[in-house]
Amino acid sequence: MAPLRYSINVTLDGCCDHRGFKPDAELHLYAAETLARADGLLFGRVTYEMMESAWRQVDPLPDWMEEWMVPFARTIGAAKKYVVSSTLEHLDWNAQRLPAEHLERSVRELKEQSRTGLYAGGVRLPTALAELGLIDEYEFIVRPGIAGHGPTLFAGLSHRFDLKFVGLREFKSGAVALSYVPAS
């Protein structure tokens, strides 16, 4: 069974609001390379809609987008996406809906079909995936800043999860990618 990996950016104070980070060319390239290795991406509705609205249009380049962001935009655009939602009726952008009521079974089937693994993103969906024991690796990209606001990760977990440290990668910006696997 291929692994399900969860990766997210956080500030030093634990904020995972994407507006709390300054865009960074090295981290965008790292994210593009990471996503390119996945057989598919798992998102909840909110994350899917946010990513689609930001990264769908590349040609012509939107006013806000820097040229160095294009590889990430193209990679995420080409990736197969699975969206866990009971409210979205229409999906495109290379996406299909996974029924929320069958989350565990659907994700286990995707992991069995995957060759290289899957990546999950977002805030609420990963909490449900963690509760079900479906996440095989956690990557927290800790950004050097304090937001002082915003959502934090894994709010509402029913119990503590112990993790084992398995890797570190440092970036020129001062960000660090910390990788962990479930301890048990």
Alpha carbon dihedral 161, 27, 2, 168, in 10-degree steps, equals -50
Helices marked H in 81-138:
103-113, 124-131
Enclosing domain of residue 83 = 4-182
The count of domains in the chain is 1
The pLDDT score that the predictor gives to residue 78 is 95
How many Cα atoms within 13 Å fall on the side-chain side of residue 125? Answer: 29
Query: What values do phi and psi take at 82, rounded to 5?
Result: -120, 125
The pLDDT score that the predictor gives to residue 155 is 85
The pLDDT score that the predictor gives to residue 83 is 96
Can you tell me which residue has the tokens 């089937």? 109
The pLDDT score that the predictor gives to residue 143 is 94
User: DSSP characters for 26-92?
Assistant: HHHHHHHHHHHT-SEEEEEHHHHHHHHHHHS--SSPPTT--GGGHHHHHHHHHS-EEEE-SS-----
The pLDDT score that the predictor gives to residue 176 is 97
Per-residue pLDDT of the chain (184 residues; tens, 9 = 90+): 999 999 999 999 888 887 777 889 999 999 999 999 999 999 999 999 999 998 988 888 898 889 999 999 999 999 999 999 988 888 999 999 998 889 999 999 999 999 999 999 999 999 999 999 999 999 999 999 888 888 888 988 899 999 999 999 999 999 999 999 999 7
* C-alpha distance from residue 27 to each of 80, 116, 130, 141, 177 (Å): 21, 21, 25, 9, 10
pTM over 0.85: yes
CATH number at residue 125: 3.40.430.10
